[in-house]
Amino acid sequence: MNLTRLTFEFDGHTVAVEGYHYAGYSGNVSPPEPESFSVTKAEIVKQADADEPVSVDDLDEEELADAALREWRERDEFERDLYADMRREDAWLERRAHR
């Protein structure tokens, strides 16, 4: 588990969280441990409505952790796709160089 920082939209607010992603474990454990994201720090970077400010303490912790997990998954998928694209491009350039 690595400390991760994410910034995303949550309930209309822009929220920055810091925490840990846990991939879960399905070995000899019954039931298997699910994937999760543990938020250690959170702050509202931009309020949904500047006239009615909300404290980060007013946000639902479980919903925030679920939203952070979704954001982590999206970022991870984007980075995997980007890496795969770079590998394909490198292979293509290498094949062209050997012609």
* pLDDT tens per residue, range 44-80: 999 999 899 999 999 999 999 999 999 999 999 999 9
What phi and psi values does residue 31 have, to the nearest 5 degrees?
-75, 160
Q: Which amino acid is at 83?
A: Y
Are 40 and 2 in contact by the 8 Å Cβ rule? The answer is: no
Side-chain-facing half-sphere of 48: CA atoms under 13 Å? 10
pTM over 0.85: no
Mean pLDDT value of segment 86-99: 90
Q: Look over the chain and give the mean of its residue pLDDT values, rounded to a whole number.
A: 92
Greater confidence, 27 or 57?
A: 57
**Tokens (6 digits) for 21:** 């992603």
DSSP helix/strand/coil, 67: helix
Sorted by where each begins, the domain ranges of the chain are 3-97
